[in-house]
């Protein structure tokens, strides 16, 4: 195995990925990476443009002998999920990703890696720069803000692309051809509550839920992993009934598309109950660890004494909020009755904040069937309203209806079998892909998504397999050779 990332094969991909990962590129903060990719296209003397919302389109003519083939759009998104372990000292705004090689995998030190979707971006960059890769006319589409609303795809206007085929390089299993995806909608709630002075004789504690596996709130939701917000709420609710525990603050979860891994709460309770609380937390930890031993083996629930908070959430608001979160659907809501193994509808309670008289709850509701997705979203809103919260919707995007009989799907399925002597898994996924959105303005475009093996996306456990990148690259190059003619 090579000692540095840029020496891995294929070197053109890994060099690009290394350069890309030196640039901070959080969703909605892509100014630097947009400039990076714009400069890259211009340095190759290719037609390069930025649209109204910040997507970058780079066009490259067909190589000799392939001028009569259909135009292909190669598409990946520039942003990445910024997540790190609580004990990792890292500033995403100023630092590049610290990568290392372990066996057949490339990983990051305590943070997300950005292989989602940086490997796709790096592969497209390699094709744009190459002078020895046969291909039809290429339209490279680099979208922004895929991870937190898909606003790049939503803002892409019709008429900018001429491609008849779109290859989305954002799938995370190298034996899968993705031909459909779920839509999604952000469901949020905010409410205010009165603060009360902490009673005399109360003591303060910090409760921490940590070490959960987390992961992608769409792709990994079927795995039944624990949600830190749900775990914390369970502890607080049970303890409030048993010990007159009072909440001062809660800070749990992060991005909507990541299953929450950590939560911290500041609480207070009568000093004569502190010993019982410590025993209760240990007991609860054992119960919850046992329930999640196969999915979240490193789960920890800790408690430490802290300065007693001066103000607490009033008892009526606390009663309503903790029960509302307990009642809020989380995880799988319904499996598809038509496609075996496919999650049809789900919800992720992604963020819970309680502080200074205001509470906020943020969810991401996904669904392959739009009417059912909205029914679940409305149900969650009704639940929030019972706690006196004001619910709202945002960031809605459509799903992508699968068409397994499309000519190009058959072409790529047959090519996979020819190259790897195995059947590709042609499927739909319970995650948002930009294909469904792009397809609204380009309805005649045939689309398919594929990519290398990526594990732990949206978490600090993210890693990409070196040998799988090599397989993906060979398949991509052969696909470009097989693009059919325009007639």
Active-site amino acid positions: 79, 146
- Please, are residues 181 and 435 in contact by the beta-carbon 8 Å criterion? yes
- Please, are residues 437 and 401 in contact by the beta-carbon 8 Å criterion? no
Sign of torsion over alpha carbons 274, 280, 282, 285: negative
The DSSP bridge pattern shows strands 165-168 and 425-429 to be: unpaired
Tally: H helices and E strands in the chain: 11, 23
Other C-beta atoms within 10 Å of 467: how many?
13
Question: Within 13 Å, how many C-alpha atoms sit on residue 213's CB side?
Answer: 18
Tell me which residue of 111, 154, 137 sits closest to 21, measured CA to CA.
Answer: 111
Residue 460, classed as helix, strand or coil, is coil
Vertex 54: Cα angle to 82 and 78 (nearest 5): 35
What are 113's two structure tokens?
């890696």
Tell me which residue of 481, 6, 456 sits closest to 212, measured CA to CA.
Answer: 456
Tell me which residue of 175, 196, 59, 117 sits closest to 413, measured CA to CA.
Answer: 175
- Please, are residues 313 and 354 in contact by the beta-carbon 8 Å criterion? yes
At which residue do the structure tokens 């190009």 appear? 408
* Dist. CA 427–CA 401, nearest whole Å: 11
Could you tell me the maximum CA-CA distance found in the chain, to the nearest angstrom? 84
> In DSSP terms, which residues pair with 101 in a beta bridge?
106
Question: Within 13 Å, how many C-alpha atoms sit on residue 381's CB side?
Answer: 15
Cα dihedral 224→100→98→168 (10° resolution): -60
Residues in the chain: 487
* Dist. CA 72–CA 63, nearest whole Å: 13
* Dist. CA 302–CA 235, nearest whole Å: 11
What are 302's two structure tokens?
């800790």
What are 433's two structure tokens?
């892909």
* Dist. CA 67–CA 70, nearest whole Å: 8
- Please, are residues 225 and 257 in contact by the beta-carbon 8 Å criterion? no
* Dist. CA 449–CA 408, nearest whole Å: 12
């Amino acid at each position: 195995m090579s000692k540095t990332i840029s020496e891995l094969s294929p070197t053109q991909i890994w060099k690009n990925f290394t350069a890309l990962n030196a640039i901070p590129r959080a969703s909605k903060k892509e100014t630097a990476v947009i400039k990076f990719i714009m400069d890259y296209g211009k340095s190759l003397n290719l037609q390069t443009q930025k649209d109204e919302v910040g997507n970058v389109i780079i066009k490259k003519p067909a190589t000799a002998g392939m001028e009569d083939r259909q135009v292909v759009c190669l598409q990946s998104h520039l942003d990445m999920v910024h997540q790190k372990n609580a004990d990792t000292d890292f500033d995403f705004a100023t630092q590049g990703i610290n990568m290392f090689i372990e066996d057949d995998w490339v990983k990051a030190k305590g943070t997300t890696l950005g292989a989602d979707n940086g490997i796709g971006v790096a592969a497209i960059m390699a094709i744009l720069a190459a002078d020895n890769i046969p291909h039809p006319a290429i339209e490279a589409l680099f979208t922004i803000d895929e991870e937190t609303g898909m606003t790049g795809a939503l803002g892409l206007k019709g008429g900018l692309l001429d491609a008849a085929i779109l290859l989305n390089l954002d799938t995370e299993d190298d034996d899968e051809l993705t031909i459909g995806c779920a839509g999604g909608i952000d469901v949020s709630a905010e409410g205010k509550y009165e603060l009360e002075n902490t009673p005399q004789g109360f003591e303060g504690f910090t409760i921490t839920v940590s070490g959960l596996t987390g992961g992608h709130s769409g792709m990994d939701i079927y795995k039944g992993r624990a949600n830190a917000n749900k775990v914390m709420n369970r502890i607080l609710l049970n303890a409030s009934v048993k010990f007159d525990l009072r909440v001062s603050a809660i800070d749990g979860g992060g991005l909507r598309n990541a299953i929450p891994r950590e939560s911290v709460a500041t609480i207070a309770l009568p000093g004569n109950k502190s010993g019982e609380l410590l025993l209760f937390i240990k007991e609860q930890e054992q119960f919850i660890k046992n329930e999640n031993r196969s999915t979240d083996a490193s789960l920890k629930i800790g408690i430490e004494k802290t300065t007693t908070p001066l103000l607490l959430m009033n008892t009526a608001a606390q009663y309503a909020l903790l029960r509302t979160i307990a009642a809020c659907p989380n995880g799988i809501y319904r499996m598809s009755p038509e496609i075996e193994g496919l999650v049809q509808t789900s919800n992720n309670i992604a963020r819970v904040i309680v502080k200074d008289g205001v509470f906020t709850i943020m969810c991401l509701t996904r669904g392959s069937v739009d009417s059912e997705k909205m029914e679940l979203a409305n149900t969650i809103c009704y639940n929030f309203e019972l706690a006196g919260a004001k619910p709202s919707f945002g960031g809605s995007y459509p799903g992508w209806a699968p068409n397994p009989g499309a000519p190009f799907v058959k072409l790529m399925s047959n090519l996979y079998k020819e190259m790897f002597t195995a059947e590709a898994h042609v499927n739909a996924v319970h995650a948002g892909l930009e294909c469904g959105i792009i397809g609204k303005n380009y309805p005649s475009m045939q689309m398919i998504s594929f990519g290398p093996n990526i594990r732990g996306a949206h978490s600090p456990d993210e890693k990409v397999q070196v040998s799988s990148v090599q397989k993906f690259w060979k398949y991509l190059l052969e696909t470009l050779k097989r693009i059919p003619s325009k007639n």
